[in-house]
Structure 1
Amino acid sequence: MSIDDLSGKRAVVTGASSGIGQATAIALAQAGADVASIHLADGGDGAAATAAAIEAAGRRALMVEGTTASAEQVEAFADRVERDLGPIDVWVNNAAQLLVRPFMETSEDDWHDLLGSNLHGYVHGCRAALRRMLPRRAGRIVNVSSITAVQPISLAAAYVTAKGGVVALTKALAVEFGGEGIGVNAVAPGATETALTADFYTPAVRRAYEERIALGRVGRPEDVAKAVVFLASDAAGYLAGHELVVDGGMTLNGNVGIAADAGPAA
C-alpha cells in the first residue's frame, strides 16, 4: 500500500470538467477514491470525459451540474454525494474563473461575480465539507490557491484578491478545526496549461514563463493533481494550514542574467 493510498474514500472536486480539476479527479480515482464533482452547464462534455476516466480506474463517479457560487446548490450537491456515494472524506475546492481586466475598468458586477466563484465558492465548499466531516471528526479539505497571492500579476486584481483570501481562509480553518480531526491545506499552482489560461499564454508570455521557471517549462494539470492527492492522504496528516507551492521553482528564481565571470577583476 502506498503512503497516498485513498482506497475506499469518497472525494469531491469542484470544477472537475477540465484542467486541474479534471486531472485531480482522475488522480484521486487512481489512488482509490470514488469521486464527485459539481460543474457549470457548459462543462457537460468535459465532465462526461472525467467520469469515464474515473470509471476506467475502477471507481464510481458522480457529476452534477451547478455553481459553487450558490451556497444552496453546494449544500444540495453535498447531500447527493453522501446519498449516492457515501460519507465525504475529501473535499477539494478548485472551481474558479479568470478575469484579466484593468482594475479601473472592472465593474462591480465583474468583481462580485469573480469573487462569487473564486472565494465565496470556497467558503461554501468548506462549510458543506465541515458540516459532514465534524460529526465523524475526520476529513481532508484542500483549497486550490495560486502563486499570484504572493507574486501578483497586473490586470487581475479580482483574481489575485480572491486567491489571497483562499490562503487566509485555509489557515484560519486549519487552526479552528485541526483539533477536530479535519486537515485543511492548500496547493498553489504556478503557470499551468489549462483551458482557463490558454488564451492568455501568447508566445511572448510563454517565453517569459520558460525563462522564469527554474524547471524550464509551464506546468501541467497532472503536476498539481499529484500534490492534491498527497494533501488528501494520510501522508499529510501532520500538515495544518500549509500552502504547497507547485510552480516549478518560479517564485524562488532570482536569476537576472548575471554572467559567471562578471565578478571583480583580480
Structure 2
Amino acid sequence: MFDLTGKRAVVTGASSGIGQAIAVALGQAGANVASLYLAGREGADEAESEIRAAGRDTLFVQGDTSDHEQVEALASEVERRWGGLDIWVNNAGWLLIRSFLDMTHDEWHRQLATNLHGYFYGCRAAAARMVPSGSGRIINVTSITRVQPVSQATAYVTGKGGVHGLTTSLAVELAGHGITVNAIAPGATDTGLTAGAYTPDVRAVYEARIPVNRIAGPSDLAGAAVFLASDEARYVTGHELVVDGGMTLNGDVGFDETPSST
C-alpha cells in the first residue's frame, strides 16, 4: 500500500520543516521529487540526498512561490524532464507574529502573496497539467489555526482560511477530471518557521493542551501526505486531514471527578 513508484511530485518549500519531511517521504515511497524553495540550500541538499539514496530523481530550484512565473517554470521543467506531473504539494509559507493594528500593508500583502497566492499559482500549474492526463493529486498544507485562531497572526490565519476554500472548491471542480484536492492541517509543529514564536511559555501551554503531550515534529506530518498522494486515497477529496495530536478536540479544563451519590 501507498506505493508511489514512478510518480512525479512537486513539494514547494522542501528545504526545511514539513516540506522537507514530505518530500523525503514521497521519494522513499517511490516518487521523483521536485521543489521550489526560497532559502536553505543545505537543507535542500540534504533532502535531495535522501531522495536519491532511495533511487529516485530530484529537481530542487531556489526561487519564490509568490512569483507565478517561477512556479510555472518549475512545472514546465518537471513536465519536460519527467514527462508529466502526478502530485503537487503546496507547502511553502511563512509566519508573521504582529498585532493587527501594527501590521503594515506591505506585511499583510507579503503574507498573502506566499501563503495564499502561491498556493493558487501551484494549484493552477498542477491542474493545467493534470487535467489533460485525467488524474492527479493536489495537497495543500493548511493549519489548525483556521478553526482555532491565535492572536497576532491575522494574516497567517486569513491565508490558511483562504487555502481551505481553494481546496474545497477545486475538489468539486476537478473531481470529474480524476484529480483529488485535499489539505493537511498541522497542529503545533517544531520547524524553522515556528522557532521564534515557540518561547518556553508557549511550549509549556502547547504541551499541556495537546493530548499526546508533545509538539509534533515534521515527520509526524509526512505519512498523511503519502496517503493522500497514493491510490489508496482515490475516493478522498475536499478533505482537510487534521494532524494535531488531538489539540483541537481537547475540551479538558481540569474538572474534579464528580463525587459519588451513594
| TM-score bin, normalised by smaller chain | over 0.9
Asked if 1:61 corresponds to 2:58, the answer is yes
List 4+ stretches of structure 1 deviating above 2 A: 262-266
Asked if 1:229 corresponds to 2:226, the answer is yes
- The Cα of 1:143 is off from its aligned counterpart by 0.2
Q: Secondary structure at the match of 2:137?
A: strand
Give me the whole-angstrom Cα distance separating, in 2, the residues matched to 1:159 and 1:71: 20
Q: Percent identity?
A: 60
Give me the whole-angstrom Cα distance separating, in 2, the residues matched to 1:82 and 1:67: 19
Task: Output the TM-score relative to the length of structure 2.
Answer: 0.98
- The Cα of 1:197 is off from its aligned counterpart by 0.6
Asked if 1:255 corresponds to 2:256, the answer is no
Aligned partner of 1:218 in structure 2 is 215
Q: After superposition, what is the alpha-carbon deviation per residue over 1:234-254, rounded to whole angstroms, capped at 9, x for unaligned?
A: 111111100000000000000
Q: Aligned runs of 1:172-187 on 2, under 5 Å?
A: 172-187=169-184
1:7 to 2, 5, 8: 5
- The Cα of 1:264 is off from its aligned counterpart by 6.8
Give me the whole-angstrom Cα distance separating, in 2, the residues matched to 1:119 and 1:73: 16
Q: List runs of 5+ in structure 1 lacking aligned partners.
A: none
Q: Secondary structure at the match of 1:119?
A: helix
Q: List runs of 5+ in structure 2 lacking aligned partners.
A: none
Q: Secondary structure at the match of 2:96?
A: coil
Aligned partner of 2:33 in structure 1 is 35
Q: Secondary structure at the match of 2:184?
A: strand
| Residue-pair matches, total | 262
For the aligned residues, what is the CA RMSD? Answer: 1.0
Q: After superposition, what is the alpha-carbon deviation per residue over 1:146-199, rounded to whole angstroms, capped at 9, x for unaligned?
A: 000000000000000000001110000000111110000000000001011111
Aligned partner of 1:142 in structure 2 is 139
Q: Which amino acid aligns with 2:2?
A: D
Aligned partner of 1:47 in structure 2 is 44
Q: After superposition, what is the alpha-carbon deviation per residue over 1:61-99, rounded to whole angstroms, capped at 9, x for unaligned?
A: 110111110111110111111112331100000000000
1:157 to 154, 158, 161: 154
